Chains A and B, each alone.
Chain A
Amino acid sequence: MTGGALDQTDGFIVPNGRRRACLTAAAIAFIIGIHVAGRIGAYCSPLTSDDSYIFTSFGCRMACGDVLYRDMSDIKPPGLFMVYALVYLVAPAVRASAAPAETVFLLLGYAAIYCACVEVYSRRAALAVTVLSAVTINYFAVTGVAIVGFGVAENFMVFPAAAAAWMYLRALRTGGEGSLIACGLFLGVDTCLKQTALPLVVALTVHWTAFALLGHGSVRRWFSGAARMFVGGCIGWAPAILLMSVQGTLVAAARLLTSDAGAMLQRGSAWPDEWRDVLPLWIVIAWGVWAVLNLIESRLRRRSDSSSVDTLDSRPLTNDSSITFLLLWIGAEVLLLWRLPLRSPHYYVIACVPFMLLAGAFVSTFGRSVNGLAPSTRRLSCVAAVVLSGVFLRPAVDEIVPRAITAQRNHDWRAEKRRFEESLRWGPIHFGRGAPFTSAEQTNSPERS
Chain B
Amino acid sequence: MCCVWIAAIVIARANAGLATDDPSVAMSVSDTVVMGIAFVGLALLLAGALMPWQPPRGGGLVGSVVFSVVASGLVADGRVVAWDAAAAILTAVGALAILQARNRWMGIVPLGIACGLSPLCASALVVLLLPSAHGRRRAADALPVVAIGVAVAWVLHLTIGRLPGAAFAVGSDLNRIGPQNLWRFVAWWLDLGMPALVFACVAAALRFFGDAENIAATRSLAVWLGINVLVGVFLPRVVLCHGLLLLLPAFMLTSSGYLAMRRLPVNRSHWTLSLFSAVCLVLPFALLWTSLRKAGEIAVVSLGAL
Contact = CB atoms under 8 A, between A and B. Distances in A.
Contacts of A385: 276, 280
A295 B90 CA distance: 52
A293 B278 CA distance: 15
Given A290-B276, A370-B273, A384 B208 contact: no
A386 interface: yes
A402 interface: yes
Contacts of B184: 402
A9 to B, nearest CB: 19
Contacts, number: 95
B190 A398 contact: yes
A376 B209 CA distance: 9
Contact of B265 (A301, A373, A401): A373
Interface string B268-283: 0111110111011001
Contacts of B198: 387, 391
Contacts of B264: 377, 380-381, 384
A405 B236 CA distance: 13
A131 B13 CA distance: 41
Interface string B197-239: 0100110011011110001000000000000000000000000
A267 interface: no
B19 to A, nearest CB: 32
Interface in B99-141: none
B8 interface: no
A23 B279 CA distance: 25
Contact of B180 (A4, A390, A405): A405
Interface in B248-273: 260-261, 263-265, 269-273
A408 B182 CA distance: 12
A369 interface: yes
Contacts of B194: 391, 394
A294 B273 CA distance: 8
Given A293-B275, A369-B272, A13 B283 contact: no
B261 A380 contact: yes
Contacts of B272: 290, 293-294, 297, 369
B280 A384 contact: yes
Interface residues of B, number: 36
Contact of A376 (B183, B187, B211, B271): B211
A383 B202 contact: yes
A3 B202 CA distance: 14
Contact of B271 (A22, A297, A402): A297
- Tell me the dominant secondary structure on chain B's binding face: helix
Which of B215, B272, B275 has the most A CB atoms < 10 Å from its CB? B272
A4 B209 CA distance: 7
Nearest to A40: B179
B202 A391 contact: no
Contact of A380 (B201, B260, B283): B260
Nearest to A376: B211
Q: How large is the interface on A (under 10, 10 to 19, 20 to 34, 35 or more residues)?
A: 35 or more
Given A1-B210, A391-B283, A409-B180, A381 B205 contact: no
Contacts of A48: none
A15 interface: yes
A202 interface: no
A373 B55 CA distance: 29
A373 B179 CA distance: 45
A388 interface: yes
A380 B211 contact: yes
A391 B270 contact: no
A2 B201 contact: no
Contacts of A384: 202, 261, 264, 276-277, 280
Nearest to B276: A290
A103 to B, nearest CB: 19
Nearest to A394: B190
A388 B208 contact: no
A379 interface: yes
Contacts of A301: 269
A203 to B, nearest CB: 29
Which of B182, B205, B275, B277 has the most A CB atoms < 10 Å from its CB? B205
Interface string A1-14: 11110000000010
B206 A381 contact: no
A19 B206 CA distance: 12
A401 B280 contact: no
A2 B276 contact: no
Which of A1, A381, A409 has the most B CB atoms < 10 Å from its CB? A381
Nearest to B260: A380
A19 B208 contact: yes
Nearest to B194: A391
A75 B176 CA distance: 48
Interface string A396-438: 0010011001001100000000000000000000000000000
A377 B265 contact: yes
B275 A290 contact: yes
A402 B265 contact: no
Nearest to B215: A1
Interface in A320-341: none
Contacts of B271: 297
Contacts of B283: 388, 391
B183 A3 contact: no
Nearest to B203: A383
Given A377-B264, A391-B287, 8 more contacts: A2-B209, A3-B210, A4-B209, A293-B275, A369-B272, A379-B206, A381-B265, A394-B190
6 contacts: A3-B209, A369-B270, A376-B211, A380-B263, A384-B276, A405-B183
